[in-house]
Amino acid sequence: MDLMTTVTIAVAAGTMLVLAVAMSLVLGWANRAFHVEVDPRIDAINDALPAANCGGCGYVGCGEYAEAIVHEGADIDLCPVGGPATAADVAEIMGVDVGDAAPKRPVVHCSAEYPQRLGRHEYAGEMTCTSANLIAGVQGCIYGCLGFGDCVMACEYDAIHIVNGLAKVDYDKCIGCSACARACPRNIITMIPFKTERVMTVACSNKDFGKDVKNVCETGCIGCKSCEKVTKGLFHLENNLPILDYDHLADDYDFGDALKKCPMESLVWVGKPSAEDIAETADEVLPDVVEADFKTTVDKTEWRG
Amino acid sequence: MPSKGPTATERFINGIIPENPLYRNLLGLCPALAVTNGMKPALTMAGATAFVLICANVITSLLRNVLKPHLRILVFTLTIATFVTIADRFLQAFMYDMSKILGPYVPLIIVNCMIISRCEVCASKQSVGTAFSDAVGVSLGFCLGLASIATVREILGSGTWMELRVLPEAWPNWGIMVLPPGAFLTLGLLLGGWNWYNARREAKAS
Amino acid sequence: MEYIASIVLISVGAALINNFVLHYFVGICPFVGVSRRVEMAFGMGCAVTFVISIAAFLSWTFTYFVTRPGAPVTTWIWGMVNPGSEAVVDLSILNYIIYIFVIASSVQFVEMYLRKFFPALFKAFGIFLPLITTNCAILFGCLEIMKHITGVSSPAEMWGLDKALVFAVSGGIGFAIAITMMAGIREELDLCDVPKPLEGAGITLLVAGIMAMAFMGFTGVDRGLEALLLK
């Protein structure tokens, strides 16, 4: 090898060596100089969390939630994806007791499908709930489900669908990330702890009374207080709407009387269907998702009304 | 993760169509758009990428037990850079015109997401033989992807394929096809076609 | 005036006429992947601009002083070993390795620095930084600068640090413009009825094609600017 080649190879190797050493020194120094004191519990909690980064806990990602638990004392059972197992792990890391954490699932507080909504007019604006919510006259009830599907668009797990104009949750697919609850502009979806597989809910958000409700909806709650009287206070009316006290509810409470007394069919079971319901529809072939099946008169397109 | 996973042959076949790196995983989009205005540049690029991917996979697989976890990505990248330098010099020496046409896209193979992804996912955990067959399969898949886009762009844009005339002289060359917008539109439509075909196949199967 | 004209031409060229994404096809992966919401896209654009300027500075320094044929450092070393020789040491074989090394290390350094001193900024675009290490756009910036140092016919035409930095920053700004525009369009597309096979990457690429067509309208602007500034 002549001198030029030798020198080239030597200088090349030397340059790479100098570069590597310099960078290691700089990065090593930076690692110490820019060291941010990180509580080791944050890393441990981060490992325990499922890393789905779904935002269901209310924080931007699993990392944020871990930091919030250690620095701000956030509740340890907020992770819907990990559920009670994760809550137990986190509790162990933080050295606290884990309470009885039931998974939270969304409940749509409206029971009116298109035929039961009165006062509907043709809406030709942007087909989203957020936009339709801003103008008057789309439907009679100003509190209830509009049916344009903002919740469906927010859900990344295909767990909520609009069936005949009403949002319905598929509890088999739902993981409880609460994206639908946050997307709803009328805030009629709330997250409720599901201590059992079937939960009784109040499927109405209408805060008006009596005739005002009947004028706009066939199944809306009129605030008659029958449920409160029959259950001796388990339902408690506020703003003409019953609120169910889930904390003091026994798992096997019989709602038969309350269901019979409610004149408007506003009390609804959600969650896993009961044995009777399954038996009733056992011989039906049900489609997976029921789509609205009417078309406009203008052309053959399906109207996402 | 199971220690075996797909066998070497399965990985090889998977890489070609089912897990096609371009259409299925959307990796390596930059060269797919940049060099596909003719079949010859596309095939040259595919060949260069194949060379780099196979060599990098083999070396990574040989080093897999001595690498510290936090140095992994850096070592992959440096290995890939070395082989890309070799490939670039080779092209400049023996295929000078082609190297001028490919321009800066040969060194950009270093940051081709596909290669780093295969090193990370497969080569750093599997034996040399498996890594080798995985690399060959994925390279063939990538070549297929590039060739499909280049075929459309070259035929419509210059009426030739592999620089042999296939359309009559009277064909008004679709200039847009050899320009950047044509690349985006072709890839977008081919991707749509691929997804549609796959959806139909899955609907028929179920 | 000639100097200002050349700076303006480099800047407008990198940002608009030869836009990194829409003309040179670099940085497509983040362009398709991160452009779903305008805030995230803008954050990504800022992060890329930031990193590309640092990478351009370091790569220009190394190329100019060490690896190009006849570079000061190698000439000095050669002068010590074999004084009086006219031959030049050419280390440009190391270029790609040095660039990628420099990019990876500087991204790591920037991430640590941001985390310590600007936690708000770190939260805003910290997650993008590891993604940017393998971003074609950064390496492409370095390669173009290399081309204008080693690939020019005379030393007078070599790009100094000033032109290299202007090129890099403008390229980053052009990337930011393109990705933010794409994010705005995609937010609107969310409300539209996109055919199922085209959902996601397909429609993004088609929209990018139309954007590329629009940006082709900038061709010839450099000639007009040149005529205007060098009147």
- Mutation target to probe the C interface, by most C beta carbons within 10 A, among A2, A5, A8, A131 is A8
- CA–chain centroid gap for B10, Å, is 19
Handedness of CA C203, C207, C208, C210 (dihedral sign): positive
Residue of C nearest to B183 (CA): C209
Regarding predicted confidence, which is higher, B203 or A290? B203
Task: Supply the DSSP string of A130-176, one letter for each residue.
Answer: HHHTTSTTSSS-SSS---S-HHHHH-SSS-EEEETTEEEE-TTT---
Looking at chain A, list the stretches that DSSP marks H as alpha helix, in order from N- to C-terminal side. 3-33, 40-48, 62-72, 83-94, 129-132, 150-154, 179-183, 211-214, 226-230, 256-261, 275-280
- Residue ranges of domains in chain A: 1-35, 40-94, 104-280
Residue of A176, A169, A155, A172 lying closest to A57 (CA atoms): A176
Select the residue of C96, C197, C212 nearest B81 (Cβ to Cβ): C96
Determine whether the interchain pair C100/B78 forms a contact, defined as Cβ–Cβ distance below 8 Å: yes
* ipTM for the whole complex: 0.84
> In Å, how far is C127's CA from the nearest CA of chain A?
11
- Mutation target to probe the B interface, by most B beta carbons within 10 A, among C52, C182, C205, C218 is C205
Rounded to an integer, what distance in angstroms lies between the CA atom of residue C189 and that of residue C204? Answer: 9
Select the residue of C89, C98, C191 nearest A7 (Cβ to Cβ): C89
SS3 A192: strand
Helical pair C95-117 and B72-94, crossing angle rounded to 10 deg: 150
Task: Supply the DSSP string of C122-161, one letter for each residue.
Answer: HHHHTTHHHHHHT-HHHHHHHHHHHHHHHS-SSGGGS--H
Q: What is the pLDDT at residue A286? A: 58
Q: What is the pLDDT at residue A299? A: 47
pLDDT at B174 over 80: yes
Determine whether the interchain pair C93/A12 forms a contact, defined as Cβ–Cβ distance below 8 Å: yes
Q: What is the pLDDT at residue B17? A: 78
Determine whether the interchain pair C202/B188 forms a contact, defined as Cβ–Cβ distance below 8 Å: yes
> In Å, how far is C231's CA from the nearest CA of chain B?
32
> In Å, how far is C143's CA from the nearest CA of chain B?
7
Give tens-digit pLDDT for C70-109: 888 888 888 888 787 777 888 888 888 899 888 888 888 8
- On whether the CB atoms of residues B79 and B59 are closer than 8 A, the answer is yes
* Domain spanning A40-94: CATH 1.10.15.40: yes
Strand positions, DSSP E, chain B: 160-161, 164-165
Residue of C nearest to A20 (CA): C101
Q: What is the pLDDT at residue A201? A: 86
| Phi/psi at C24 (5° precision) | -100, -5
Handedness of CA A269, A272, A275, A279 (dihedral sign): positive
Give tens-digit pLDDT for C138-176: 999 999 999 898 888 788 888 999 999 999 999 999 999
Residue C41 burial by CB count (10 A; 0-12/13-18/19+): exposed, middle or buried? buried
CB of C161 within 8 Å of a chain B CB? The answer is no
- CA–chain centroid gap for A129, Å, is 16
Rounded to an integer, what distance in angstroms lies between the CA atom of residue C74 and that of residue A272? Answer: 76
CB of B104 within 8 Å of a chain C CB? The answer is yes
Give a three-class secondary structure readout of C183-218: HHHHHHHCCCCCCHHHCCHHHHHHHHHHHHHHHHHH
> In Å, how far is A14's CA from the nearest CA of chain C?
11
Regarding predicted confidence, which is higher, A81 or C112? C112
The model's confidence at residue B16, banded by pLDDT at 50, 70 and 90, is: confident
CB of C123 within 8 Å of a chain B CB? The answer is no
Rounded to an integer, what distance in angstroms lies between the CA atom of residue A82 and that of residue A88? Answer: 10
Q: What is the pLDDT at residue B142? A: 92
Q: What is the pLDDT at residue A1? A: 63
pLDDT at C129 over 80: no
Q: What is the pLDDT at residue A101? A: 56
C chain contacts of residue B78, beta-carbon cutoff 8 Å: 97, 100-101
Residue of C nearest to A16 (CA): C98
Q: What is the pLDDT at residue A298? A: 46
Residue of B134, B137, B142 lying closest to B21 (CA atoms): B142
Determine whether the interchain pair B108/C206 forms a contact, defined as Cβ–Cβ distance below 8 Å: no
DSSP state of A102: P
* Domain spanning A104-280: CATH 3.10.20.30: no
Regarding predicted confidence, which is higher, A289 or C45? C45
Determine whether the interchain pair C81/A36 forms a contact, defined as Cβ–Cβ distance below 8 Å: no
Strand partners of residue A268: A201
A chain contacts of residue C116, beta-carbon cutoff 8 Å: 33-36
CB of C87 within 8 Å of a chain A CB? The answer is yes
Across chain B, mean pLDDT equals 86
Report field, pTM of the whole predicted structure over 0.80 = no
Regarding predicted confidence, which is higher, A136 or B6? A136
Select the residue of A26, A35, A128 nearest C109 (Cβ to Cβ): A26
Rounded to an integer, what distance in angstroms lies between the CA atom of residue A235 and that of residue C173? Answer: 59
Rounded to an integer, what distance in angstroms lies between the CA atom of residue A112 and that of residue A206? Answer: 11
| Chains contacting chain B through 3 or more C-beta pairs under 8 A | C
| Structural element, H or E, at residue B52 | helix B39-63
Residue of C nearest to A19 (CA): C98
To the nearest whole percent, how much of chain C has pLDDT over 70?
96
Select the residue of A12, A31, A153 nearest C91 (Cβ to Cβ): A12
B chain contacts of residue C209, beta-carbon cutoff 8 Å: 180-185, 188
| Chains contacting chain A through 3 or more C-beta pairs under 8 A | C
CB of C196 within 8 Å of a chain A CB? The answer is no
> In Å, how far is C1's CA from the nearest CA of chain B?
31
C chain contacts of residue B81, beta-carbon cutoff 8 Å: 96-97, 100
Q: What is the pLDDT at residue B146? A: 92
Q: What is the pLDDT averaged over residues B57-72?
A: 82
| Residue C130 CB partners (closer than 8 Å, separation 6+) | C107, C111
Select the residue of A7, A23, A34 nearest C112 (Cβ to Cβ): A34
Residue of A nearest to C58 (CA): A19
- CA–chain centroid gap for A119, Å, is 29
Residues of chain A with pLDDT under 70: 1, 51-56, 58, 60, 97-102, 274-275, 277, 281-305
> In Å, how far is A198's CA from the nearest CA of chain C?
34
Give the tokens for residue A195: 């201590």
User: Which range (A40-44, B65-69, C196-200) has the least confidence?
Assistant: B65-69
Give the tokens for residue B158: 């210059």
Rounded to an integer, what distance in angstroms lies between the CA atom of residue A225 and that of residue A222? Answer: 9
Handedness of CA B161, B164, B166, B170 (dihedral sign): positive
